[in-house]
């Protein structure tokens, strides 16, 4: 059983984790929208590699 302090720390960790995951999902969505494909299409290996290469070229 968790102490109140441990429970509070766990709750805060969970909130931060969920915010970070949401930020990452939004980032992927923004990239997919910019190139006119779905997130699922973006995350297939050939497309993901093409996006990575494009991002590297734009630095």
Q: 4-59: per-residue pLDDT in tens?
A: 999 999 999 999 999 999 999 999 899 889 888 899 988 888 888 887 887 788 76
Domain residues for 22?
Answer: 4-57
Instruction: Give the chain's domain count.
Output: 1
Distance CA 8, CA 25 (A): 26
Output the pTM of the full model.
0.67
Residue pair 39/33 in contact by the 8 Å Cβ criterion: no
Phi, psi of 58 (to 5 degrees): -90, 0
């Amino acid at each position: 059983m968790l102490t109140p302090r441990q429970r509070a720390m766990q709750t805060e960790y969970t909130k931060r984790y969920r915010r970070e995951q949401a930020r990452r999902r939004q980032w992927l969505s923004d990239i997919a929208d910019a190139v006119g494909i779905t997130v699922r299409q973006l995350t297939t290996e050939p497309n993901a590699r093409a996006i990575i290469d494009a991002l590297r070229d734009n630095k």
